[in-house]
């Protein structure tokens, strides 16, 4: 990195989630980080714990389904950290409802958080990135978005994460001339994140038996990919969808 960049990581309120570990990886790389979440207490706690180890971190309140909340959060980050150079669109939800039982409000809720929320966050940070002629946008998609769900997500989740890939690549085309890259990461099952109980154990066993590397993902694995895509080493990479799944799926 050149100087101290500033990153905004959404969905970063969980202690064991990809958002926290992405923030930790960026802090370790010398980036100041704002951790944003609708669970603002979780975001503030994570920021305080991470800042005790490295760099400068703040927690901010953000509901990605609320455009005003997103813009307020971005203004807070700009006030406290100076700007937003790196956006990690990580906030997301899932729903276990099968397609034939799903109702429109459930489908729309997943799309609003996972896809529309990412769009709103992107639009809030583009002006500053364009003005500075430098930016990194990193989207957390999913294996589900590349293979229509299956074990790793039902229809709404798969559709939203496929949409994330399309939006990521459209942004890469349109924002590249302004020095802004846009890339996605497509994890498989990541141990310790949203799923718990029997479903988590089932996916863990599927991954261990089917993935060439014979283990589930860890949040640190995704954080390492985020750190790379945010770095100057990735300056000539844009529109890429990086599979981080132990070889469970590749194309």
Which DSSP helix (H) or strand (E) runs through 74? Answer: helix 67-81
* Residue 99, number of CB atoms within 10 A of its CB: 12
Catalytic residue chosen out of the listed positions 157, 178, 236, 249: 157
The 3 state secondary structure assigned to 16-69 is CCHHHHHHHHHHHCCCEEEEEECCHHHHHHHHHHHHCCCCCEEEEECCCCCHHH
Residue 157 is a catalytic residue? yes
Chain centroid to Cα 220, Å, comes to 13
Using CA atoms, how far residue 161 sits from 19, 127, 138, 157, in Å, is 16, 25, 13, 6
**Are 7 and 33 in contact, with CB atoms under 8 Å apart?**
yes
The CA-to-CA distance between both ends of the chain, in Å, stands at: 30
The half-sphere exposure of 62 on its side-chain side, counting CA atoms within 13 A, is 35
- 101 DSSP 8-state letter: G
CA 237 to chain centroid: 17
The set of catalytic residues is 157
């Amino acid at each position: 990195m050149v100087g101290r960049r500033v990153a905004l990581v959404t969905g970063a309120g969980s202690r064991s989630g990809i958002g926290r570990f992405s923030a930790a990886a960026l802090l370790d790389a010398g980036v100041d980080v704002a951790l944003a979440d609708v669970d603002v207490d979780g975001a503030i706690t994570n920021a305080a714990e991470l800042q005790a180890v490295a760099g400068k971190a703040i927690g901010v309140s953000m509901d990605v389904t609320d455009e005003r909340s997103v813009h307020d959060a971005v203004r807070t980050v700009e006030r406290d950290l100076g700007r937003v150079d790196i956006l990690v669109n990580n906030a997301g939800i899932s729903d276990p409802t099968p397609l034939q039982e799903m109702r429109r409000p459930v489908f729309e809720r997943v799309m609003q958080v996972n896809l529309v929320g990412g769009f709103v966050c992107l639009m809030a940070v583009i002006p500053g990135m364009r003005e500075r002629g430098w930016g990194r946008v990193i989207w957390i998609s999913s294996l589900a978005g590349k293979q229509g769900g299956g074990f790793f997500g039902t229809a709404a989740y798969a559709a939203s994460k496929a949409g994330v890939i399309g939006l990521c690549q459209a942004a890469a085309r349109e924002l590249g001339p302004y020095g802004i890259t846009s890339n996605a990461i497509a994890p498989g099952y990541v141990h310790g994140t949203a799923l718990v109980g029997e479903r988590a154990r089932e996916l863990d066993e599927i991954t261990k038996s089917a993935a060439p590397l014979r283990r589930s993902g860890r949040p640190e694995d995704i954080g390492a990919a985020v750190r790379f895509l945010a770095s100057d080493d990735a300056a000539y990479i844009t529109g890429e969808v990086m599979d981080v799944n132990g070889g469970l799926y590749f194309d």
